Amino acid sequence: MTEMKLDAANLFLFPPSKSPHLLNPLVLAYIGDAVYEVYIRQYVISGANHRPNHLHKASTGFVSAKAQSKLLTALMPTLTDEEVDIVKRGRNAKSGTTAKNADVLEYRHSTAFECLIGYLYYTQSFERLKEILDFAITFNDKQK
């Protein structure tokens, strides 16, 4: 029996049931939240301080609705027309829930940012996704 070598590229083998262009923006935000969270957690773990409380606090500085809203505002001038359209779809989506530590506008912008991340992930625009994720880290570090 031949053993397949597993790597990160084929660890996530479940494409969406529809084209990313046709997915509900809240579905894109759902996966975008997960992709962004994993990226940020890997970044935080790459640092020296591995105490769980420190990891959580450091991650929260990136993934809170308030932080993502500020990040999206900074990103807007760099987005393509297609990306702006995705952001608008995410911002205008009615989720029926609200963040416990953010106002409605911050929450909507946070959802829009996550929608963009999910869209780039599902369209396999990995170079652009990495640019935005790296920008997020640089932007957050400058905010401190």
Residues 6+ apart with CB under 8 A from 20: 28, 118, 119, 122, 123
For residues 131 and 50, the answer to whether their CB atoms sit within 8 Å is: no
Residue positions annotated with a catalytic role: 33
For residues 87 and 115, the answer to whether their CB atoms sit within 8 Å is: yes
Mean pLDDT over the full length of the chain: 90
How much is the pLDDT for 5? Answer: 65
Class of domain 22-143: mainly alpha
Task: Tell me the per-residue pLDDT of 11-42, one tens digit each, with 9 for 90 and over.
Answer: 677 889 999 999 999 999 999 999 999 999 99
How much is the pLDDT for 65? Answer: 93
Task: Tell me the per-residue pLDDT of 43-102, one tens digit each, with 9 for 90 and over.
Answer: 999 998 889 899 999 999 999 999 999 999 999 999 999 999 999 999 999 877 777 778
For residues 63 and 32, the answer to whether their CB atoms sit within 8 Å is: no
What is the model's pTM? 0.91
Q: Does the pLDDT of residue 130 top 90, yes or no?
A: yes
Residues 6+ apart with CB under 8 A from 130: none
